[in-house]
Amino acid sequence: MTSNFDQLMAVADTVISHNFGSIYSFHLTDGTSLDLEAIFDTKLIVKTKSKENGFLDYKNGLLEVLNKRISKDVIIDSTVQTELGQRRVSNVLYPEPRVSVLVLSPLGESETLNEEYGF
């Protein structure tokens, strides 16, 4: 059973996605494509070990997908056209149970994650 709070958060995330997101078409490694509504950004807010909020910079971008937990097996190594050009999904982070953050890198490279922030 879903709590009222969870239901309200899902509604809020949907409104945020519709207002700030765009539809991105991912070309998966099996030859199919997957369209997802996501919010493009180059910064991720994280809790540091000192419990204060910090920012991680991702120069190649992130796509935040709200209300969906996307399997790494499906999306890793897919390609997508972004505001910065074509990128590859190099990792998926799950900062909340129903949020997937797709870490992007240039084609052929992986973005190094910062261990200080627990990733």
Is it the case that residue 71 has pLDDT exceeding 60? yes
Chain length of the chain: 119
Q: By residue range, what is the domain housing residue 83?
A: 4-117
pLDDT of residue 55: 66
Task: Provide the whole-model pTM.
Answer: 0.76
Domain count, the chain: 1
pLDDT of residue 83: 87
Is it the case that residue 114 has pLDDT exceeding 80? no
Is it the case that residue 20 has pLDDT exceeding 60? yes
Average model confidence (pLDDT) for the chain? 81
Is it the case that residue 25 has pLDDT exceeding 70? yes
Q: Which DSSP category does 51 fall into?
A: S
